[in-house]
Chain A
Amino acid sequence: MKNRFCLIGALIMSVCILYLASCKKTQLVTTTTADVNIYSYLVKDPDRFSEYVKIIDKAGYSEFLDAYGAYTAFAPDNNAVKSYLQEIGKPDADAITVDEAKSIVKLHLIQDTINTTAFKDGKLPQITMYGQYLLTGVINKDGVSSYIVNRIAIVTQPNIRLSNGLIHALDHVLKPATKTVAQLIKEKPEFSIFAQALDATGFSDSLLNVVNNPDTTKRFLTVLTETNKALQDSGITSYTDLKNKYSQTGNPRNREDSLYLYVAYHILPDAKYLADIVTSPSHQTLAPLEVVTSKLDGETVLINDLVFNGNHEQGVVIDRSTSDVTATNGVLHVALAHFAIKNRVPVRVDWDVADVPEIRKLTAVFRKSTPAPGTPGGFTLTTGSIADIKWEPTAGQPMAYAYTGLTSTVYYQWWGDFVIMPMGLTNNARAKWYEFTTPLLVRGKYKVWICYKYFRQSSNNPAFPLRVLFDGEPFSRLFRFEEQMPAGLSDGEGEALGWKRYTAEAPVTNRDNVARLVGVADVKSTDRHVIRFEALTGGGQSGNYLDMIQFIPVNDNQLRPVFARDGRIVQ
């Protein structure tokens, strides 16, 4: 009896042990995250994406879209794919070829994670794997604003974050551009005159019709085309008129021919949408060393709208609604007026470096009494706060603006103000370099005069020469803020030695408020350029007072006019 109980007991025990032991089935986690990847996400949502998944499968990209990486995938939903298939005349997704499927998926894929905060009015910062940029924007339809891609596909759900990137769901399939810029221009009758000019100059077959140009600098081109109406407004009613007006050699294919240059002037390297055009003040064209300038006035995009030699030149409007057309090899914009290269004669520029918009804005400072310059003095400028002046960021002695009034017997500079540029090579409190962006300079050769107020911090200091560079090319002569003009020079002798007095009020004996010729600048393109000061040796000094920089055409009078503290220019 007792044995039997033992037996039963043992049996129960063993069952219990078995039961308990079996229970402990451990769940081993083999993945680092439960988040899905792009492909799996699409598969999991067949109501929306089953058709697009078929295309991905067909293209054979399912594995790499599920591998780790950083992608942005635009995913058209089922309706989008169906209507696209209908459009191209295929019964279903299985009917498209592998190559077609590959192209579709590649156009919808970018190798970077780009969320909607990076969407601007123009192209996305990265190119698709297909090799065409996507154009983004925002559209308002029936009061609802949505992001739109390539002006066709509305983003129905943005920024779906997955472990290998982002998905933006679309309501249309994106279609690659199929026409070159030349084809786009030729197919529109309103561009017929410009199209004939393209043909005659040879641009339409040599450049604008080439896709995947081996010369990568010209793979993408942007064309600012002119409508027939724009040309007619300027009295050009036919291609013959245009040719008669410009083609001085009679052979438009000649690179010296003005018609050739006229067309080249309308072509910019790179794919530049309007958003790219308005963010940079000037753009190179295919016409050698000629630029177009650009500007946003309210909402209007203007090119070549500029102030030159004191006169405002009205710019040409680029039509927003018909521009930003993507081609296989670039972008097409439409100009609403006729424009061409301006033949300008070099004209002198008397550039007051202290007159920049950021200081002008400081109404309590600009040409108002600020602390008299000393070491250091004036109104401190923060590094990076002036768009057109850059300098090496330093902690100790910052750049400053100073105004010294109209009655001083020491300071005679134009408008009574200057900038203070502490400089030194071995003193880390002072900047090693400064860069100033010049006003618009017309192509030509100029003598460059640095107009400054002499100051020497200590007579014990060694000479402190600076190198001055124009667009990276050093001038022949070194420049020293702590150098006075030699005494007793006549105007003629001074000019010969590269010295002159440029102020209207300083006495003849004044050797401090003077200008130094640093050399001749060869301005190769009509544009804004960069002039740079570099410390070459020593600790330098803080009190370097720069008033203005003059660019005077080499054949012009270098000595007159002169400049007064109340702003007058005396002939």
Chain B
Amino acid sequence: MKLQKNILLGFVWFCCAICFSSCKKYLELKPTDGIIRQNFWKTKEQVQAAVFGCYASLLGAPAGISDRPLSEYFFLWGELRADMLSPSFGITAPELDFMNVNILPTNNITNWRSVYRTINYCNTVIDYAPEVLSNDKTFTDEALAAYVAEATTLRALMYFYLVRTFRDVPLKLTSTSSDDQLEQLAKSTAAEVLDQIVTDLNDSEAALPLTYNDQAADKGRITRYTLNALQADVYLWMEKYPEAITACDKIINSGKFGLIPGSSTWFNTVFANGNSYESIFEFQFDRQKLNSFYTLFRTNPHFTASNIVYEDVFAADGQNDLKDLRFDGAAARANDGLIWKYIGIDNATLRAQGESFAHWFVYRYPDILLMKAEALAKTGKGQDALDIVYRIRSRASALPDTDRPGITANDTEGILDFILEERSREFAYEGKRWFDLLRHAKRDNYKRLDLLLTMVSKTVPPDRQQSAIAKFKDKNSHYLPIYQYEIQTDKNLEQNPFYK
């Protein structure tokens, strides 16, 4: 009997020993190689790190996910359907289908996932940063409000890209931080999304700082001026011209921005180095995080400058020595049509592949001026609008062939066309051309649909011309389809009727 007891006792001890020695790590649920939310959101430094994480997501997909960086999507969305690119030998099938107006929901350029990833990062900051107030006594309400405003404005910028590209999109305003928070959201209308953007921007304006006292931070983080620039752009899109003028004036009257005089170093200062005083907001690529443009434009070029760029946009006839500062050795290299803006270090020298960190330019000061000019023209101040256009033109020594000499101050449509042309020169390959064309085409109830129809009749191959024109007559075709994967996984999403 005693022997049995001893055996029993021994067994119990053995079990205990096993349990206590193994339990600790074996049953630990927290990851050992990362930090979890419950342990984060403790200090103000962590809030800053999270906000910077939102900016970092603009530069590329996180490790382990192979996807285009956002800047490449924005380039493709803003340029492929417009008239300034020609396919070159590195072109891929999805890109070519875009250029030929043959977009299907299976085309992976229509994947909006990267944009929603950044939106989710912003939502996470908005949702959880307030918790830090109770944990870190040195964290002030003002500092919190500023960080939240930064995240909110960045989210608004992302939604503005989405609403211009897809029109109706799901509006997700809370973070998704665990599987049980996954939602099958339906689409919101473009008007709802735009209203949300306007509200977000109005709410954030007061909280945002005017400067971070550092040139790179002022151009790489969202300041109140970035918000005003975005406001102006959104109001123009919504055809609210007085509001757009107000927003532009806030930037213009600040006196902190100006046009860098046109000279041989202009390209290097504005584009190759970036963060110039002409700049308002840029994606900050650097040696640690290169952009994807070298492979897109240089190694195996997917695109080169189209004939339209040579003949119509810049009217470079080569007959005299006059040069538009913005063309050869700036937007493109005239010799071979390479898209130079992101691969040149100056007018003549290529970047090395390891140096491919030209920034992505979201807003520059000329954009503010030309947005204001557009709003002025629409509100009956044609002469003021023309003055701005000529200010931009003289800075860049635009060629006489691209001028509209006989234009008068009351020729509103003429002035607007002139501004649209000037924008194509000033912002060549900055991902704006398609959105500019669409904004002008759709204003006043699609009064200028002809802009898109004329454009597409010149860009697609002759045997697709009539089809492309007929497709563009359908307004739904101006917006991209929802990518097939999203449609399959979210049953509440409804495809754009053009792509059904």
Contacts and interface: CB of A to CB of B under 8 A. Distances in A.
Residue in B97, B102, B317, B462 with the greatest tally of chain A CB atoms within 10 Å: B462
9 contacts: A119-B467, A120-B463, A136-B467, A137-B470, A145-B498, A275-B464, A275-B466, A278-B463, A363-B310
A273 B318 CA distance: 39
A364 B474 contact: no
Interface in B62-108: 89, 97, 100, 102, 104
Interface string A133-157: 0001111100111000000000001
A48 to B, nearest CB: 14
B497 interface: yes
Interface pairs A-B: 10 shortest CB-CB: A363-B318, A145-B474, A275-B463, A138-B470, A140-B473, A278-B462, A138-B467, A121-B466, A117-B102, A296-B462
Contacts of B467: 119-121, 136-138
A139 B470 CA distance: 6
Nearest to A381: B336
A365 interface: yes
Contact of B475 (A137, A143, A320): A143
A60 interface: no
B336 A362 contact: yes
A454 B251 CA distance: 65
Interface in B468-483: 468-477
A248 interface: no
Contacts of A363: 310, 316-318, 328, 334
A87 interface: no
A361 interface: yes
Interface of A: 115-117, 119-122, 136-140, 143-145, 157, 159, 275-276, 278-279, 296, 298-299, 320, 361-366, 368, 379, 382, 384
Residue in B310, B336, B467 with the greatest tally of chain A CB atoms within 10 Å: B467
B461 A379 contact: no
Contacts of B477: 145
B130 to A, nearest CB: 47
Interface string B448-492: 000000000100011111111111111111000000000000000
Contacts of A279: 461-463
A299 B465 contact: yes
Nearest to B498: A145
Interface of B: 89, 97, 100, 102, 104, 307, 310, 316-318, 328, 334-337, 457, 461-477, 497-498, 500
Contact of B497 (A120, A137, A144): A144
A377 to B, nearest CB: 15
A35 B316 CA distance: 56
Contact of A299 (B100, B328, B466): B466
A140 B318 contact: no
Contacts of A364: 318, 328, 334-335
Contacts of B336: 362, 382
Given A363-B328, A363-B334, 18 more contacts: A117-B104, A121-B465, A140-B470, A145-B498, A159-B104, A275-B462, A276-B463, A298-B457, A361-B307, A361-B310, A361-B337, A362-B335, A362-B336, A363-B318, A364-B318, A364-B334, A379-B335, A382-B89
A299 B469 contact: yes
Contacts of A144: 474, 476, 497-498
B97 A117 contact: yes
A311 B145 CA distance: 72
A365 B335 CA distance: 7
Contacts of B466: 121, 137-138, 275, 299, 320
A319 to B, nearest CB: 13
Contacts of A116: 102, 104
Contacts of B337: 361
B208 to A, nearest CB: 41
A193 B466 CA distance: 31
Contacts of A145: 470-474, 476-477, 498
Nearest to B310: A361
A381 to B, nearest CB: 10
Contacts of B475: 143
A127 B312 CA distance: 40
A326 to B, nearest CB: 16
Contacts of B468: 138
Nearest to A273: B463
A453 to B, nearest CB: 23
A383 to B, nearest CB: 9
Contacts of A276: 463
Contacts of B500: 157
Contacts of B465: 121, 296, 299
A523 B98 CA distance: 43
B335 A384 contact: no
Nearest to A357: B307
Nearest to A137: B467
B280 to A, nearest CB: 32
B471 A138 contact: yes
Nearest to A121: B466
Given A120-B467, A137-B466, A299 B310 contact: no
Contacts of B457: 298-299
Contacts of A157: 500
A388 to B, nearest CB: 16
B335 A121 contact: no
Contact of B474 (A140, A299, A362, A368): A140
Contacts of B97: 117
A12 to B, nearest CB: 32
Contacts of A296: 462, 465
